[in-house]
Chain A
Amino acid sequence: MTEPLARPKRKNPLKRTRQPLYPQAIRSRTAQGLTAAAAQGRFELQKCAECETVFYPPRDACPKCLSARVPFVPVDNRGMLTVETTIRTSTDPYFRERTPWRAGLTKLDCGPVVLTHLHGDVKEGDRVRLDLKLDKGGAPVFIALPGKDTPHMADDPQLREMTCDPKFRRVLITDGRTAVGQAMAKAFSEAGCNIVFVGIADPWKPFPGQEALARIDRVEIVPLDVTDTESVTELAEQNGGRIDIVVNTAEHVRPGGILGRHGLTVAREEMDIRYFALMRLAQAFGPAMRSRGTDGVNSAAAFVNLLSVHALMNWPQFGAYSAAEAACLSAAQCLRAELRPGGVKVLNAFFGPLDTEWFQTVPPPKVAPSALAKAVVQALQRGLEDIFVGDIAEDVRARLAVNPKALERELSG
Chain B
Amino acid sequence: MTGAAVRMAYDGIVACVPTTVPYRRFSINTAHWWIGRALHDLTREAGLKPAEIDGLILSSFTLGADSAVGVTQHLGLSPRWLDHVPLGGASGVIGLRRAARAVQAGDARFVACVAADTNHVDSFRKTLSTFSRFAQDAVYPYGSGGANGSFALITKNYMNKYGARREDFGKICVAQRHNALAIPFAMMKKPLTLDEYMSARPIADPLHLFDCVMPCAGAEAFLVCRESDARALGLKPVRLLATIERHNAFTEDTVQERGGWAMDIGELWQMAGVTPDRIDLVQTYDDYPVIVMMQFEDLGFCKKGEGPDFVRSHTFTADGSFPHNTSGGQLSTGQAGAAGGHLGITEAMRQLTDTPIGHRVKDADLAIVSGFGMINYDRGLSSGAAVLARAS
Complex-state Cα separation, A56 to B138, whole angstroms = 9
Nearest neighbor of A80 in chain B, beta-carbon distance: B254
Nearest neighbor of A92 in chain B, beta-carbon distance: B144
The answer to whether A31 and B157 touch across the interface, beta carbons within 8 angstroms, is no
B202 CB-CB contact with A under 8 Å: yes
Min C-beta distance of B137 to chain A, whole Å: 4
Q: Mark A136-167, 1 if CB is under 8 A from B, else 0.
A: 00010100000000000000000000000000
The answer to whether B138 and A90 touch across the interface, beta carbons within 8 angstroms, is no
Q: Mark B104-141, 1 if CB is under 8 A from A, else 0.
A: 00000000000000000000110011000110111111
Complex-state Cα separation, A148 to B160, whole angstroms = 25
Complex-state Cα separation, A255 to B144, whole angstroms = 53
The answer to whether A115 and B129 touch across the interface, beta carbons within 8 angstroms, is no
Q: Which one of A28, A88, A92, A116 contacts B202 once the chains associate, using CB atoms below 8 Å?
A: A88
Interface residues on B, range: 35 or more
Interface residues of B in 321-338 (CB under 8 A from A): none
Q: Which one of A58, A105, A135, A139 contacts B153 once the chains associate, using CB atoms below 8 Å?
A: A105
The answer to whether B255 and A91 touch across the interface, beta carbons within 8 angstroms, is no
B143 CB-CB contact with A under 8 Å: yes
Known: A91-B128, A105-B378. A115 touches B142 (CB 8 A): yes
Which residues of A sit under 8 angstroms from B201, Cβ to Cβ?
Answer: 88
Which residues of B sit under 8 angstroms from A94, Cβ to Cβ?
Answer: 144
Min C-beta distance of A130 to chain B, whole Å: 13
The answer to whether B255 and A90 touch across the interface, beta carbons within 8 angstroms, is no
Which residues of B sit under 8 angstroms from A43, Cβ to Cβ?
Answer: none
Which residues of A sit under 8 angstroms from B144, Cβ to Cβ?
Answer: 23-24, 87, 90-92, 94-95
Min C-beta distance of A119 to chain B, whole Å: 14
B204 CB-CB contact with A under 8 Å: yes
Min C-beta distance of B112 to chain A, whole Å: 33
A27 CB-CB contact with B under 8 Å: yes
Nearest neighbor of A96 in chain B, beta-carbon distance: B144
The answer to whether B205 and A88 touch across the interface, beta carbons within 8 angstroms, is yes
Nearest neighbor of A63 in chain B, beta-carbon distance: B251
Complex-state Cα separation, A86 to B143, whole angstroms = 9
B152 CB-CB contact with A under 8 Å: yes
The answer to whether A141 and B141 touch across the interface, beta carbons within 8 angstroms, is yes
B156 CB-CB contact with A under 8 Å: yes
Nearest neighbor of B148 in chain A, beta-carbon distance: A89
Known: A57-B138, A87-B145. A82 touches B157 (CB 8 A): yes
Which residues of A sit under 8 angstroms from B202, Cβ to Cβ?
Answer: 86, 88
A sample of 8 inter-chain contacts (CB < 8 A) reads: A25-B141, A31-B138, A84-B153, A89-B148, A90-B144, A105-B157, A105-B255, A115-B138
Chain A interfacial positions (CB closer than 8 Å to B): 23-28, 31, 56-58, 63, 82-92, 94-95, 99, 101-105, 107, 113-117, 124, 135, 139, 141
